[in-house]
Amino acid sequence: MSDALSAFGNDPWWVIGLKALLIFVILVLLTLFNIWWERRVVARMQHRIGPNVHGPFGLLQSLADGVKLAFKEDLIPKAADKVVFVLAPVIVVVPAFVTFSVIPFGPEVNFFGHQTPLQLTDMPVAVLFVMAIASIGIYGIVLGGWSSGSTYSLLGGLRSSAQMISYEVAMGLALVAVFMYAGSMSTSDIVAAQDNLWFGLILLPSFIIYSIAMVGETNRAPFDLPEAEGELVGGFHTEYSSLKFALFFLAEYINMATVSALATTLFLGGWHAPFWIDEFWAGANEGYWPVLWFFGKVLFFIFIFIWLRGSLPRLRYDQFMAFGWKRLIPISLVWIVAVATMRVARNEGVFDEGFGSNPQFWLIVIGVLLAVLLLTFFLPEKDADEVAPTSAAPRTGGFPVPPMPAGGAVRGAAAPLVFRSEADREVSNG
């Protein structure tokens, strides 16, 4: 067991209970803040005001919406499986809270007279624990869609499960490079390994792939295909109302915070001070200051979620799934091989002397090249409307028809009619 892991398991029961209660309260308050922040940011992007009536700056608007949901009539469809229908939101929301149990918020502090880490617990496979617990929420989504007795809900649940499973594969592969470089799956060990240089710089392709996969994993725009209003009404939670709908809503925003906290922990140094502030401020990584750095980084990722939702249109489902299976996963596999090769070369002493003796330099170079390759898939393809139309040969018999374009006609241009004979032209003109 590492020195970091030896600090856990020694807390009295009241410290463990107080830590768990604080995590619950922080996540609920963070959800209320994130909903308000999203509405304000999107309103600003669309030249609107947003919530500004309830409380200072409208901060109590999310609380008012939550109270309104609680007092709404709770409806259960006649064709629903009532037991599963009620349990599905619980299955979704409970894992969302549990995943935060292994997230480190800071170093060891004096917690009401007891020296303890700012983390509920840790284990040698903490990151795999997060992935496993987060996967349980998929069952709640599928069961919620199936138990509703609605075709739209069933299609939304199946689409959501396929999407989340697909992007969990890419997310898991992105984390393999982190495990190899840190030499551990413990979240506290991974944070300690980034004391000098963040993994987001060294392992840039893993960072980009994880950032894309976490948006797809949480069903957020532009990847919110399971909730496409024009196709599935509301997706898997179409038939839900009142508190059960609120639980689905709560789980979505907690999952946003979870993947953001995991990205902060694995790629942005966790609770370490940003921009290497600790080099000229000795106390930046001591006491409760790291909690501020941690939540600042988490809110940065939340802002990226909001920015994407207010900027990008929804993707087509087949394009989204093909991007995950045919782009993210192959590039992840190539990157894992590159990282493993560099680690073996370093252990064999290849980088001991000579030009480019620092393996981190070569990892950054290879990472930048793969990141550029990955980002090229977002470049727009040549528009089919730019292809010049070709004339169709006249057909024997039938009415006058326009030519069949090869690749699409020029937008806005009138297509010439092709006539079978001069008599047809006279009939058309007359």
Cβ count near 270 (within 10 Å) = 27
Confidence grade of residue 419 (pLDDT, cut at 50, 70, 90): very low
Q: Which whole number is the average pLDDT over 27-37?
A: 93
Tell me if 141 is assigned to some domain. yes
Residue 281: partners with Cβ closer than 8 Å, 6 or more residues away: 273
With residue 117 as reference, give the H or E element that holds it: strand 114-118
pLDDT(254) > 50: yes
Phi–psi pair at 216, nearest 5 degrees? -70, -35
Tell me if 48 is assigned to some domain. yes
pTM of the model as a whole: 0.81
Return the percentage of the chain with pLDDT > 90, whole number: 20
- The pLDDT score that the predictor gives to residue 426 is 47
Tell me if 405 is assigned to some domain. no
- The pLDDT score that the predictor gives to residue 291 is 92
**Residue 229: CA atoms inside 13 Å, Cβ hemisphere, count?**
3
Which residue type sits at 58?
Answer: G
Q: Which whole number is the average pLDDT over 120-143?
A: 88
Tally of domains in the chain: 1
Residue 312: partners with Cβ closer than 8 Å, 6 or more residues away: 221, 222
pLDDT(318) > 90: no
Tell me if 392 is assigned to some domain. no
Tell me if 413 is assigned to some domain. no
Domain around 186: 5-378
pLDDT tens string 220-234: 877 777 666 656 667
Q: Which whole number is the average pLDDT over 309-325?
A: 82
Mean pLDDT highest for which of 145-159, 178-192, 215-229, 361-375? 178-192
pLDDT(389) > 80: no
Tell me if 418 is assigned to some domain. no
- The pLDDT score that the predictor gives to residue 155 is 82
Q: Which whole number is the average pLDDT over 55-77?
A: 87
- The pLDDT score that the predictor gives to residue 283 is 80
The answer to whether 298 and 136 have CB atoms below 8 angstroms apart is no
Q: Would you state the structure tokens that stand for residue 124, as one six-digit string?
A: 């040698």
- The pLDDT score that the predictor gives to residue 74 is 82
Cβ count near 190 (within 10 Å) = 26
The secondary structure of residue 349, as a DSSP letter, is T
Nearest Cα neighbor of 335 from 166, 185, 210 is 210
- The pLDDT score that the predictor gives to residue 196 is 82
Q: Would you state the structure tokens that stand for residue 160, as one six-digit string?
A: 């959501």
- The pLDDT score that the predictor gives to residue 417 is 45
Return the percentage of the chain with pLDDT > 70, whole number: 80
Average pLDDT of the chain is: 80
| Distances 217 to 7, 214, 305, 329, 355 between C-alpha atoms, Å | 32, 5, 12, 14, 41
Tell me if 411 is assigned to some domain. no
- The pLDDT score that the predictor gives to residue 300 is 93
pLDDT(410) > 80: no
Helix (H, G, I), strand (E, B) or coil at 115: strand
pLDDT(70) > 60: yes
- The pLDDT score that the predictor gives to residue 367 is 74
Tell me if 428 is assigned to some domain. no
Mean pLDDT highest for which of 149-158, 201-210, 275-284, 370-379? 201-210
